Chains A and B, each alone.
Chain A
């Protein structure tokens, strides 16, 4: 069975600090996909990134960066120079591989509430 663990329930930082959100996953599949979503107070989930299990390159997008390490089954998310607008709940999710043409289920972690203080 798949499992995603986000051990950090809540994190508070002061604006301009860097912050890393941890994500550890479990799966028996050799091919799988990892995602990060942001849920602002409005409630709608916003897609941030998708990464497949064969691509271990780290990725940077503006102030956001992701560190994927298969050896430790982790897919951590770092926000550099955090801003108040980054305050939200962040979810890590995992999807197994499936036959072509099939919908994929996402298994979500419990989320990390990030509060950035001015």
Chain B
């Protein structure tokens, strides 16, 4: 089955620690995205990548970093510089071409930092 996997589903960390969230897709999509969702709010874009070894900052990139070494993988690191890291993180992917195509989402990782 094609899809997007994110692991782990729940993640707990102590304040001051960096943590990396995994995102893998086997849909052969060129573009991948990371969003953050806070309670009662919509999704906000952190980073996106439209091709291997290239990525762009979204609206709330401060305190986060990404890499795109393989087409299938787009890990997100939440650094200690992120002031409010506790949130629900969603990874997505899409094809790239003329027009704008729907993004397909993974199941998400709920990060809690104490």
Binding site for B on A (CB under 8 A): 4, 9, 32-33, 35, 37, 42-47, 50, 52, 91, 95-98, 100-106, 108-111
Contacts and interface: CB of A to CB of B under 8 A. Distances in A.
Interface of B: 30-31, 33, 40-45, 48-50, 56, 58, 88, 90, 92, 94, 96-108, 110
B101 A104 contact: yes
Contacts, number: 76
B100 A43 contact: no
A33 B42 contact: no
A8 to B, nearest CB: 13
Given A42-B107, A96-B100, A103-B96, 18 more contacts: A32-B100, A43-B107, A43-B110, A45-B90, A45-B92, A47-B103, A91-B42, A97-B99, A98-B100, A101-B97, A102-B96, A103-B48, A103-B50, A103-B56, A104-B94, A106-B33, A106-B45, A109-B42
A35 B102 CA distance: 8
